[in-house]
Structure 1
Amino acid sequence: MSTTLFDLSGRTALVTGSSRGLGQAIARGLADAGASLVVNGTDAARVGAAAKALRESGHVVHEATFDVTDEAAVLRAFERLDAAGVEIDILVNNAGIQLRKPLVDVSADDWNKVINTNLTSAFLVGREAARRMIARQRGGKIINIGSVTSELARATVAPYTTAKGGIKMLTRAMAAEWAEHDIQVNAIGPGYMLTEMNRALLDNPSFDAWVKGRTPARRWGRPDELIGTAVYLASAASGYVNGQMIYVDGGMLSVL
């Protein structure tokens, strides 16, 4: 099989929340497959540092510092990209936050912050990317980042679980409307990953043991283990794949 199926040369990918963590790993993987990048985050210094590191590796990188939960900021960001002639062919909705608190102690502000960052942002950024993909009439790729909690609930992370369950259905809703425009919308559901967002869990011996015992692979996942799935979903290889969610979880969802 020709590897050209997975070649992203000539494509430009916007990865939200790509100045660190899973987003940074996915962005680097897409760049290594040939894509130009738009690095996003809310901290300009962090975005700049991530972009600099990618450029030093020989990649073409643009910077877009904006808050994905702010509709006006999202609109302005796309207008700036339009003015600069940067056309998004691939969008990865990765930006997210976590909140660990018993549900009875979650305030409305807590709830809204997690839902807006993990779910509403995917709608806002996805809508603007799709509008332009449809107008250009050459298709596109949208990848939403879910979680094993798109399927399973766990105590103390109710807003996150709700948002990630919503990501699964938002992915299907986007596919239902945009597939006819040759836009493939799919999702990736990571399992427990070695990221800074999970640092408190990694440092908790009992939770670390639970993850390793609950996961058939008997270990945490690495951020770079999402790259293959992301490149596949961003490439011509997935041209007739739409509305799907692929779990990269070491087998966690397959067993009791």
Structure 2
Amino acid sequence: MSANHPNIFSVKDKVIAVTGGSSGLGHHMVHTLAAHGAKVVSIARSHPVTSCADCETIKPDILHICADVADSADIAAAFDEAEKHFGTVSVVFNNAGIACKASALKTTAEMMEQVFAVNVVGAFNVAQEAARRMIEAKIAGAIINTTSILKNMPQKGAVAYSMSKAALAQMTRALALEWAAHNIRVNAIAPGWFPTGINQELMTGPASNYLKAKNPMRRLGENGDLEGALLLLASNAGGYMTGTTITVDGGHSLQG
């Protein structure tokens, strides 16, 4: 499609799966994508607090599915349900993630396993299931992973999280290389400091002002700041982009 096409950023009628869609950034993106005309499948371990028994009637273009991304059987069942409602998922926003706050010496094997189970294995499970079905249906698609600026800028007390996000960035490149022949693009978004459920304690403490002061734009990220990058990678506008990571951090990573 020509870059001059007026609807090049459109996601209208695309079937898009968002993991971690019950809260925070994921919840925001579920509703943003639906507002842009997409049919959205929100996959999370629990329904959003605002959900209700007749949510499909109120918001028919949003389907909430409870599933654990770390469980491949759960994910297969979730995609089965998504296909029954909307058809084959052609775009994935791999957003689910967890973190643990601990120094390297106090990070246990169990902590590391839990973080990698969700952030890396879970993201791979979702990407693999989506790609398998796209290939079988012979349709083009896009997978968008959520990494972090901590993949290159480790933060004290977040060793497991930083390592998992570095692994996810490399996974993005590896999958992009393998699936390009099937016209499946795999890219990533690397947010800077955004207040979310997994860093709420940090973002509501003294560190918040420190991070704002260190940022060239003198503020933390807001959910809306990621919308443009997501729409770019999910739409035809990003049709020749694969294996890349878009950093959205207000210039924070420029400070070293």
For 1:227 and 1:29, the matched residues in 2 are separated by: 8
Tell me what 2:103 maps to.
102
Deviation at 1:150?
A: 1.5
Q: Is the 8 A contact 1:41 1:47 kept in 2?
A: no
The percent of aligned pairs where both chains have the same amino acid is 33
Deviation at 1:77?
A: 1.9
| 2:32 aligned with 1:22 | no
Structure 1 stretches of at least 4 aligned residues deviating more than 4 Å after TM superposition: none
Deviation at 1:129?
A: 0.1
Tell me what 2:145 maps to.
144
Letter in 2 for 1:167: L
| 2:4 aligned with 1:4 | no
Q: Please, which runs of 5 or more residues in structure 2 have no aligned partner?
A: none
Matched ranges for 1:24-173 at <5 A: 24-44=27-47, 46=49, 48=51, 52=55, 56=58, 60-84=61-85, 86-173=87-174
Q: Please, which runs of 5 or more residues in structure 1 have no aligned partner?
A: none
Q: Is the 8 A contact 2:22 2:48 kept in 1?
A: no
Aligned residues: 253
Q: Deviations over 1:170-221 (max 9, x none)?
A: 000110001111111100001101223322112212x112211221111100
Deviation at 1:87?
A: 1.4
For 1:226 and 1:142, the matched residues in 2 are separated by: 16
Letter in 1 for 2:12: S
- Structure 1 7/51 Cα, relative in aligned 2: closer, same or farther at 3 Å? farther
Q: Give SS of 1:3's match.
A: coil
For 1:143 and 1:55, the matched residues in 2 are separated by: 28
For 1:228 and 1:173, the matched residues in 2 are separated by: 24
Q: Provide TM-score, normalisation by structure 1.
A: 0.92
- Structure 1 110/51 Cα, relative in aligned 2: closer, same or farther at 3 Å? farther
Deviation at 1:47?
A: 7.8
Deviation at 1:86?
A: 2.8
Superposed CA RMSD in Å reads 2.0
Q: Is the 8 A contact 1:216 1:250 kept in 2?
A: yes
Deviation at 1:50?
A: 11
